[in-house]
Amino acid sequence: MTVCERYWIEEDSQFRREFDQQDGSGEKTAMSCPTPFCFSSGRGAGNKGFTLIEVAVVMLVIVIVLGIVSVNLEPDRDSIVRDEANRLALLLLTAQQESILQGKIIAVVVERQGYHFLALNDKGEFTPLSQDDVLYPRPLPSDIAITSVEIEGAPETEKPRLILLPTGELPAFSVTLSRGNTRWNVKGELTGEITARIAPLPGKA
C-alpha cells in the first residue's frame, strides 16, 4: 500500500465517524470519498499509477527520437554543394535556351562567391540581366566557393566570362564548386551539353 492510498483510507474513516455522530437516527450510513489516481514507487494490487522507472524509460525514448529527427533534418555537406552545382548547370541551360530563342548573345560572369548574367545590347555592350525573373545575380552560400574556372579560348581574367551564342554553341568549360573537401564540377561541351558531376579529390582522379 502506498502512502497516498493510506492517507485517503484514514481520511475516509474519519469522514465516516463524523457522519455517524451527526446522524440522529442511530443508523450508520456509509459514505466515502474515492481514492485518487496517484503515482507510486512500486507496483501494488490494484495500483494504476506509473513507476519512476517507467517514466524515465519514456523520457529516454523521447530524447532518442528527437535526436534522430534533428540529425535527419540537417543537410549533409555533399548535398549542399551538389544542389549549388545542379542549380548552376540548370541556369546555364536556361541562359543557353534564352540566347537561342531571343537571338542574342548572353555572357555568364563567374566569380569566387557567385555569378551573374549579361546580355549584349544593340550598342554592342554587355548589360546585366538583373531584372530577369530567372537569370538574376546568384550569390553562393558563405561556405561554398568557386575555386576553379576553365573556359576554352577565353583570356585569363579576374572575372572569366562564358559566352553563349544564339546558335547553341558554347566553348568547352569547367567550373568547380568546393566546400571543404567536397567538390563538384559543372562542365560544358562543344555540342552544347551541360552537366554537373562530383569531382574526385586532388590526387585521387
- Of 100 and 62, the structure prediction assigns the larger pLDDT to 100
Q: Above pLDDT 90, what percent of the chain?
A: 42
User: pLDDT averaged over the chain?
Assistant: 78
In degrees and rounded to multiples of 5, residue 166 shows phi and psi of: -60, -15
> What is the pLDDT at residue 177?
96
Q: How far apart are CA 184 and CA 191, in angstroms?
A: 21
Mean pLDDT across 103-113: 94
Q: What is the 3-state secondary structure (H, E, C) of 63-78?
A: HHHHHHHHHHHCCCHH
Q: Are 185 and 197 in contact (CB under 8 A)?
A: yes
Neighbours of 193 (CB within 10 A): 10
- Of 156 and 184, the structure prediction assigns the larger pLDDT to 184
Rounded (5°) CA angle 151-199-195: 60
> What is the pLDDT at residue 192?
84
pLDDT at 107 over 80: yes
> What is the pLDDT at residue 64?
74
| pTM exceeds 0.85 for this model | no
The domain 77-198 is classified under which CATH number: 3.20.20.100, 3.40.50.1400, 3.55.40.10, 3.20.20.60?
A: 3.55.40.10
- Of 15 and 188, the structure prediction assigns the larger pLDDT to 188
> What is the pLDDT at residue 84?
95
Give the pLDDT band of residue 96 (cuts 50, 70, 90).
very high
Mean pLDDT across 99-104: 92
pLDDT tens for 29-76 read: 444 444 444 444 455 555 556 677 777 777 777 777 766 655 455 456
> What is the pLDDT at residue 57?
76
Ranges for all domains in the chain classified under CATH 3.55.40.10: 77-198
Cell of 61: 525514448
In degrees and rounded to multiples of 5, residue 71 shows phi and psi of: -65, -40
With cell 579560348, the residue in question is 153
Give the pLDDT band of residue 203 (cuts 50, 70, 90).
low
Q: How far apart are CA 4 and CA 61, in angstroms?
A: 28
Q: How far apart are CA 176 and CA 185, in angstroms?
A: 5
Burial 131-158 (b: 16+ CB within 10 A, else e): eeeebeeeebeeebbbeebebeeeeeee
- Of 63 and 122, the structure prediction assigns the larger pLDDT to 122
